[in-house]
C-alpha cells in the first residue's frame, strides 16, 4: 500500500473526499440563508450544530479531526474539516444574531462555550500530559468515536419514524453523498495506512446504506399500512393548536415555512420532496404572529369555494343548454314529419 502523500491514489481520494464533504456542509446553506434574510429562526433546531447530550455535533468532530490531522501531520483532512468547522460556526452565529428569544440565545451560547471548554481541555491534557507516542492513538480513538456517533445519529430517529409511518427528514441525495464521502476518505485512510481514518469513514458508508435501506422499507410500510390521520384539514380552526404545528404529508416535520405561491404552511420535507412546494417562493414563519397567514389560508379556502360554485354553475348551465338543444332538435324533427304529411 502506498504511503507517499503525493501518490496519485492518495491525492485522488483526498480531493474526492473533500468535494463530497463540502457538498454535505453546503446543503445547509439555503436554510440559514432564509434565516438571515427573514431575520427569524422560527422553530429551527440549532442544537445538532452545537452540542447534543451523548452525541457530539458536526462542529466538535470537525474540530477534533483538525487537531488530529495537525498533530499527526496528515494534511489531506485539514481543508475539509476546517471548512466544515468554519461553516458550522457561521451557521451558529447567524442563528444567534437572528434569534429574538434571549433564553434560546443564552442556551446556544452556553452550549457552545461548554463544548469548546471540554474539547480544548481534552486536547490540552493529551498534548501536555500524555506521552508523545500516545498522542495519535488517544486523539485517533476520540475523533473516530465522535465521527462514528455523528454518522449513526440519524438511526436514533428510526423508531419514531416507523411509529409515525413517515420517512421523516431522511434524504436520499445526502445519504448517497455520505456513502461516496465515506468510500473516498476510507480509501484515503487505507492508502495512508491509518486505521482511525479508515474505520471511522467506512462507518459512514454503512450508515448511509442503512439509511437508504430504511427509506425504501418505510416507503413499502407506508404503502401497505398508511399512517392514520384523524383529519385531512390541518388548518381546521376548531382543531387543537398543537396539531397545526405538524405537516400532513410529513407528520414528524413542524410547519416552519409559508409558501407564498400556494398561500399555505409547509415543512422542510415539502421543500426537498418531489412534489408539494419544491421550487416555490418560501418564507420562514413568524410563530408569534400567524394572523396574516391564517387570513391567507382562509382567503385561499374562500377562493376554492368560489371556484367550486362556479364549476357547479357551469355544469348546470351546460346541462340546461344540452337539454334545450335536444328539445329544439325534437321540435324540428316533429315539424319535418308534419310538413311531409
pLDDT score for 288? 46
Question: What's the burial of 247, exposed, middle or buried (CB within 10 Å: 0-12/13-18/19+)?
Answer: buried
Could you list the mean pLDDT of each consecutive 10-residue stretch along the chain, which spans 341 residues?
Answer: 71 88 82 80 59 47 80 80 81 84 83 82 89 88 84 79 76 85 90 89 90 90 72 39 63 76 76 63 60 60 77 83 74 59 54
The DSSP secondary-structure symbol of 262 reads T
pLDDT score for 133? 86
pLDDT score for 236? 39
Retrieve residue 10's grid coordinates. 492518495
Three-state secondary-structure class, residue 267:
coil
d(CA 71, CA 135) in angstroms, rounded, equals 8
Listing DSSP states for 20-31 in one string gives HHHHHHHTTHHH
282-284 vs 257-259, strand pairing mode: antiparallel
pLDDT score for 2? 47
d(CA 50, CA 156) in angstroms, rounded, equals 18
Per-residue model confidence as pLDDT tens digits over 51-99: 433 334 566 677 788 888 888 878 778 888 888 788 878 888 888 888 8
Facing residues of 120 across strands?
A: none
Amino acid at each position: 500500500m502506498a504511503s507517499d502523500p503525493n501518490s496519485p491514489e492518495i491525492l485522488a481520494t483526498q480531493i474526492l473526499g473533500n468535494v463530497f464533504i463540502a457538498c454535505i456542509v453546503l446543503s445547509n446553506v439555503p436554510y440559514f440563508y432564509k434565516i438571515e434574510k427573514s431575520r427569524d429562526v422560527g422553530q429551527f433546531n440549532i442544537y445538532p450544530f452545537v452540542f447534543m447530550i451523548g452525541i457530539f455535533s458536526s462542529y466538535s468532530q470537525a474540530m477534533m479531526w483538525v487537531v488530529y490531522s495537525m498533530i499527526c501531520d496528515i494534511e489531506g483532512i485539514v481543508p475539509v474539516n476546517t471548512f466544515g468547522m468554519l461553516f458550522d460556526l457561521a451557521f451558529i452565529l447567524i442563528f444567534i444574531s437572528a434569534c429574538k428569544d434571549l433564553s434560546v440565545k443564552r442556551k446556544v451560547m452556553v452550549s457552545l462555550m461548554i463544548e469548546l471548554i471540554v474539547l480544548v481541555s481534552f486536547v490540552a491534557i493529551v498534548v501536555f500530559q500524555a506521552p508523545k507516542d500516545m498522542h495519535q492513538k488517544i486523539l485517533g480513538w476520540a475523533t473516530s468515536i465522535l465521527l462514528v456517533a455523528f454518522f449513526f445519529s440519524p438511526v436514533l430517529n428510526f423508531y419514531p419514524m416507523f411509529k409515525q409511518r413517515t420517512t421523516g427528514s431522511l434524504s436520499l441525495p445526502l445519504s448517497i453523498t455520505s456513502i461516496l464521502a465515506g468510500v473516498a476518505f476510507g480509501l484515503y485512510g487505507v492508502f495512508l495506512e491509518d486505521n482511525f481514518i479508515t474505520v471511522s469513514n467506512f462507518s459512514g458508508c454503512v450508515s448511509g446504506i442503512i439509511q437508504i435501506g430504511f427509506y425504501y422499507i418505510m416507503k413499502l410500510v407506508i404503502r401497505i399500512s398508511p399512517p392514520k390521520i384523524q383529519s385531512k384539514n390541518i388548518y381546521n380552526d376548531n382543531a387543537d393548536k398543537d396539531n397545526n404545528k405538524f405537516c400532513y404529508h410529513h407528520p414528524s416535520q413542524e410547519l416552519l415555512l409559508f409558501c407564498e405561491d400556494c398561500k399555505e404552511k409547509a415543512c422542510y420535507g415539502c421543500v426537498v420532496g418531489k412534489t408539494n412546494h419544491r421550487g416555490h417562493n418560501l418564507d420562514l414563519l413568524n410563530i408569534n404572529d400567524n394572523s396574516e397567514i391564517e387570513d391567507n389560508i382562509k382567503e385561499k379556502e374562500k377562493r376554492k369555494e368560489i371556484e367550486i360554485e362556479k364549476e357547479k354553475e357551469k355544469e348546470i348551465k351546460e346541462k340546461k343548454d344540452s337539454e334545450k338543444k335536444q328539445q329544439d332538435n325534437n321540435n324540428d324533427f316533429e315539424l319535418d314529419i308534419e310538413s311531409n304529411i
